[in-house]
Amino acid sequence: MYLFRSPLSLLQSSNAGSTTGHGHQPHHDTRWEDTTDLNQTDALPRIASPFFDIKCHVGVIVISDKTCADTSTSLAQKLLAGRVFEHAGSSLRNAREATGRVLGSMKAAKDITGLEFVGCTTMRDAELDLISAGGDVNSKPPYDPIFWNCHDISSRFARVAATEDSDIAPLREVTAALERAKFSGAT
């Protein structure tokens, strides 16, 4: 399970919450054809890298261990095989839009500008859908651009979905970095 980062401008597309926006230039140093094990690649920068900008969208992508380790598929293909869980903020029109979905296109995969492994999950698709931001939006704190946003919702989702024996230190690290950036005004 990974947190991913993409530009906020991607939320302006017709599918709220979709990482398939318009007018975004993908990260230029990304090696999309890299076939390294996804848990060992540095083809995409980490979420909390020096290039982190709080004015971004953060979501969760769940990719099977088999797909992550497959050295015959590229980074972009591995991302396309995953399921995305996210909250689009105020542009979310329908609770179903935030439940697990596939990216749908190579362009959508290449719009991802950061990736961070944050834990393992053994939950099935239906279980992940239930705990996603779209499971029951009204049972979560109300969306607020500063105090309860896509960063918070993604971190919460990953923590709930993680197995009991998952090392959640990476999730704690990236969550702390997101909070520091949010309240320091760092870009």
Which domain covers residue 113, as residue numbers? 2-184
Non-local (6+) Cβ contacts of 118 within 8 A are 1, 2, 3, 60, 158, 162, 168, 170, 171, 174
CA–CA separation, 51 and 157 (whole Å): 24
Weakest mean pLDDT among 2-11, 30-39, 55-64, 110-119: 2-11
pLDDT score for 178: 80
pLDDT beyond 70 at 81: yes
In sequence order, what are the beta bridge partners of 6? 57
What is the count of structural domains for the chain? Answer: 1
Average per-residue pLDDT in the chain?
77
pLDDT score for 52: 63
pLDDT beyond 50 at 166: yes
pLDDT beyond 80 at 158: yes
